[in-house]
Structure 1
Amino acid sequence: MSDQHTEIDAHSGVETTGHTWDGIQELNNPLPRWWLIVWYISIAWAFIYIVLMPAIPALPGFGGTNTPGLLGQSDRTSVSEQVATMKAERGVASQRLMAASLTEIQNDLNLQQFAMAMGESAFGDNCATCHGSGGRGAKGYPMLADDVWLWSGTLEGIEQTIRHGIRHEGDDATRFSAMPAFGRDKLLTSSEIDDLVQHVLSFSGRDTDASAAAEGSTIFALQCATCHGANAKGDRNIGAPDLTDAEWIFGGEPADIAATIANARNAHMPAWQGRLDDPTIKALALYVHSLGGGE
């Protein structure tokens, strides 16, 4: 409830506001002096800031932007200057990077650290979306942190893959492999694909249907050995994967293998040449090589 008059509190001798709540009267104490001082200083500082720094947005006569302030401070200008300075500093190191061979870079600690920092940044911006942080990969995207490579895991080989991509149209130097879609194009029946899956599973020592695997061995020799080899070790010159290990880009379960045989995968990777400059591509090759799977 609220009283319409004030009175003096008997215990403190302070005037009340006339407000009471549950028998408790509100005293009309003044604000603490220190609080008032801080408040007044804050108001004064706000006015000083408004005068000196960009603060008031979209006033008439300022071209739809904020007032510039007497100091002419501009974060946009500061950032532009910092970026220009960084580019100038990077330009010198980038020239050294381009002049050195990949092996020379590995043997030059300072240049290697520069290349690794640039490569890690470029990887995070452009590659990690598919290959994952640290190149751990995911289903459908190769792991870059192991020693399994469809093509080449050397510094030069990794750089070529980054530059020209995989199945990148209009680039004669792109990595390219072609696996037939045996089911979709009716090259094999569903039953033959099932037998072939059992035979493929046997290459890595997994439990199989022996009778089906035997039937699949004949199909493999006729349809698959040309690329994957009679021993199923693959051919990195043409991007044919090794079928004897436990590494599967698109999954190694029987259903996954059957889907690959039936429909083929033939995935794509962008060609980064033209999107990234030469020093960045070179640094990116070094970073990928360093993840643990380079040769």
Structure 2
Amino acid sequence: MKPERDPVTGRLTTGHEWNGLTELDTPVPKPVYFFLIVFLLFCVGYWLLMPAWPLGTTYTKGLLHQDERASVTARVKAAAEQRASWTSMIEVDHAATVLEDAALMARVRETGRTLFADNCAMCHGMEARGGPGFPSLVSGTPLWGATTDALFQTIMVGINSDHPDSRTSQMPAFGRDGILDATQIDAVVAYVRSLSQPIAPTDRIAKGRELFAANCAACHGEGGNGNSEIGVPDLTDTRWIYGGDSASIRQSIWRGRQGHMPSWDGRLQLWQRRVLALYLVDLRRHAP
């Protein structure tokens, strides 16, 4: 079919026909060409001015020499310099001095909350109240002490971690290793529960007291009050790491326990570890 002029629009057809329908030879609108040219010019300009094309092990740097990595590094450095006015005080001032400084503690609370959420909350919870297998940091006596220095040391070296100075502790598996039989373990469970709960004295509890003195008191103390020098928990309160019901206590005695906390020595800076320790002390002071 030869091109013909459309009687309605007056435009020539392309000469193509599909089932009686002819196609108009309509040119591309000029604005489309305009925007295509503008886009092309923008691309060429961007390729010349900004980093753009890979060249094996490197890339075109661009005439403006823009570098996002250098820009971010510069911003991080500027932020660190801005923080230095108070982080330097955190590093060198005595903990008691910082705790009494309202302005510094406002910084500690704000920054510590973020540091704790990013590094600690996945185990200890956002409110630092712990959970199954993870101790509360706001109530009870922390395994290795509640002072700022003790908390700072724990944060730095970890517990049963790969740090050369890691705090180390482990509860033996009295049942699995055959130190106590099932009947003896049941007696110890009854006695341990009686330390924190009002339970009427029984022969089993009396037997458990004897077994406790012979096997457990060396670490937990004669009264079961624990020992923060070697990371041993207090058994006389109601705050349990692995559960205070009979089944949980029996499980702990039977198979033993060995908690783990990573060292933050190489992950957090000195001032960050001190902020975390101060933040936890402050949480404990204001915990309900």
| TM-score normalised by length of structure 1 | 0.75
Hey, what does 2:277 align to over in structure 1? 285
Q: Is the 8 A contact 1:144 1:293 kept in 2?
A: no
Alpha-carbon distance change, 214 to 124 in structure 1, aligned in 2, over 3 angstroms: same
**Aligned residue among 231, 248, 255 for 1:239:** 231
Hey, what does 2:184 align to over in structure 1? 192
The one-letter amino acid paired with 1:81 is A
Alpha-carbon distance change, 9 to 99 in structure 1, aligned in 2, over 3 angstroms: same
Query: Would you say 1:258 and 2:250 are equivalent positions?
Result: yes
Q: Is the 8 A contact 2:140 2:239 kept in 1?
A: no
**Aligned residue among 35, 39, 62 for 2:36:** 39
The one-letter amino acid paired with 1:89 is Q
Q: Percent identity?
A: 37
Q: Deviations over 1:66-115 (max 9, x none)?
A: 21111111112212222332333334433222232223223334433444
CA distance in 1, matches of 2:169, 2:122: 23
Q: Please state whether the residue corresponding to 2:271 is helix, strand or coil.
A: helix
Structure 1 residue 191, shift from structure 2 partner:
2.2
Q: Is the 8 A contact 2:51 2:66 kept in 1?
A: yes
Structure 1 residue 285, shift from structure 2 partner:
0.7
Structure 1 residue 9, shift from structure 2 partner:
6.6
Query: Would you say 1:143 and 2:140 are equivalent positions?
Result: no
Stretch of structure 1 that moved more, 112-121 or 9-18 = 9-18
Q: Is the 8 A contact 2:172 2:257 kept in 1?
A: no
Alpha-carbon distance change, 28 to 44 in structure 1, aligned in 2, over 3 angstroms: same
CA distance in 2, matches of 1:32, 1:201: 87
Hey, what does 2:73 align to over in structure 1? 80
Alpha-carbon distance change, 170 to 80 in structure 1, aligned in 2, over 3 angstroms: closer
**Aligned residue among 105, 117, 134 for 2:98:** 105
Mapping for residues 40-189 of structure 1, pairs under 5 Å: 40-58=37-55, 64-167=57-160, 170-171=164-165, 175-189=167-181
Query: Would you say 1:201 and 2:193 are equivalent positions?
Result: yes
**Aligned residue among 204, 210, 214 for 1:222:** 214
CA distance in 2, matches of 1:126, 1:272: 9
Structure 1 residue 26, shift from structure 2 partner:
7.0
Q: Is the 8 A contact 1:146 1:293 kept in 2?
A: no
Q: Is the 8 A contact 2:170 2:259 kept in 1?
A: no
Stretch of structure 1 that moved more, 174-183 or 283-292 = 174-183
Alpha-carbon distance change, 9 to 246 in structure 1, aligned in 2, over 3 angstroms: farther
CA distance in 1, matches of 2:270, 2:219: 33
Q: State the aligned residue count.
A: 285
Q: Is the 8 A contact 1:149 1:236 kept in 2?
A: yes
Q: Is the 8 A contact 1:201 1:208 kept in 2?
A: no
The one-letter amino acid paired with 2:278 is L
Q: Please state whether the residue corresponding to 1:185 is helix, strand or coil.
A: coil
Q: Is the 8 A contact 1:232 1:242 kept in 2?
A: yes
